[in-house]
Amino acid sequence: MSTAAGPLAGLRVLEFAGIGPGPFACLMLAELGAEVIRIDRPAAVGSPARSVLGRSRSHLAVDLKSAPGRDVVLRLLRDIDVVVEGNRPGVMERLGLGPDECLAVSPGLVYGRMTGWGQEGPLAPRAGHDITYAALTGALHATGGAEKPRTALNLVADFGGGAMFLVAGILAALHERTRSGRGQVVDAAMVDGVSSLMTMVYGNHAVGRWEDRREANLLDGGTPYYDTYACADGRFVAVGAIEPQFFAELMRRTRLDFVQHDRAAWPAMRAALTRTFLTRTRDEWAAIFEGVDACVAPVLSLAEAPHHPQLAERSTFVPYAEGRLPRIAPRFSRTPGLAPGATHAAGEDSVAVLRGGGFTEDEVRRLIAAGVVAVTEEAGV
């Protein structure tokens, strides 16, 4: 599945099957041009990938708990640049596929580890999800309404603090390898990534510019000019008129007259904005604010967003299966990334991957016959 397109063309990645941030990181690498081979369990053969996060790569099913299966992976690693795994600490070591074993085979290997809590610490062996990682870092406490914290889907820890930091770490390690010729381990913990994303909030809190409670600050709904408002049709607009010139335009278009930083007047300002936005539909307000810098936008649904003129002109979303999916970002002037690729079943590419890895036809047949490697019925030799 290698391609000449994309800035990462020529990079080869071996991904051990997981969920959430690890697969999304590998999806990014794949659709930026890398060749990604995903290692699935034989028990999963024939089943489709868990989600579209498994698209755009080959799927090889190997019994990692067997010595021959481990040896298959170690042999493939000779031509691999990056490994990505998202298991709890110690799992890969028990399989004989930890960093020490893999770097011994390929000293230039970048070994990416994606976990919630990190490789050490009292919570390292514990389970968790996006909401628990966000909770422990202060991010969840700072998000939501005054009455209770509220998670922002699983964008904060899984994908923001997890996948994105893993990709950044992998690319940084690859860059360092061009100077040293040596690989290394990238320990991407979601609690670290989320904490890093909170740098501005923690920095402002340290100097008294951020209160440690929700709906009391500039960006958490504490100000009436940075919030969402219901419209006459039950839909919403988002208002982000922070700068004075944007606030002035907000006042002109709503025909209100308030002093932006008069805190005593904020309750009255919020009430007036609430009443005003309820007088028209969301799309009527969108038309009123069209073409002006007031930082007011309609809150679009998942069905509507891909068709907005701004996103449509940039082809941010492309047709996929029965719907539309966003393209991988960012964009490159000479080496554009790929459109969302096909999602393969576990084991669908086992034979092709082994052949490409230098295994002979006889070796492939023996591995399949022994149950070390599994294939889909149509992919058998």
- Domains defined for the chain, CATH in brackets: 12-197+320-379 (3.40.50.10540), 226-318 (3.30.1540.10)
CA gap 231, 16 in Å, rounded: 47
Task: Give the pLDDT confidence score for residue 321 in this predicted structure.
Answer: 84
How many of the other CB atoms lie within 10 Å of CB of 193?
28
Task: Note whether 5 and 335 are within 8 A (CB).
Answer: yes
Q: Could you tell me the CA-to-CA distances from 255 to 226, 240, 247, 265, 272 in Å, in that order?
A: 18, 17, 12, 16, 10
Tokens at 103, concatenated:
């770097």
Query: What was the pLDDT predicted at 3?
Result: 44
| Alpha carbons 58 and 354: distance in angstroms, whole number | 11
Q: Are 349 and 59 in contact (CB under 8 A)?
A: yes
Which active-site residues does the annotation give? 129, 158
d(CA 76, CA 65): 17
For residues 312 and 170, give the distance between their C-alpha atoms in angstroms, rounded to a whole number.
Answer: 31
Please confirm whether the linkage preceding 267 is cis (ω < 30° from 0): no
Helix (H, G, I), strand (E, B) or coil at 6: coil
For residue 349, the model assigns a pLDDT of 95
How do residues 32-52 score in pLDDT, each as one tens digit?
999 999 999 999 887 765 578
**Polymer length in residues for the chain:** 381
Q: Beta-strand (E) ranges in 244-303?
A: 296-298
What pLDDT shows up at residue 50? 55
Sites in the chain below the pLDDT cut of 50: 1-3
How many whole angstroms separate alpha carbon 116 and alpha carbon 122? 12
Beta carbons of 183 and 108 less than 8 angstroms apart: yes
How many CB atoms within 10 Å of residue 24? Answer: 23
3-class state of residue 95 by DSSP: coil
Confidence at residue 52, expressed as pLDDT on a 0 to 100 scale: 87
Look-up: residue for tokens 């086992």?
Answer: 350
The rounded distance, in Å, linking the Cα atoms of 8 and 354 is 22
- In DSSP notation, 137-186 reads HTTTTTSEETTEE---TTIIIIIIIIIHHHHHHHHHHHHHHHHH---EEE
44 near 114, Cβ under 8 Å? no
Quote the pTM value: 0.94
Per residue in 101-144, pLDDT tens? 999 999 999 999 999 999 999 999 999 999 999 999 999 999 99
d(CA 229, CA 99): 51
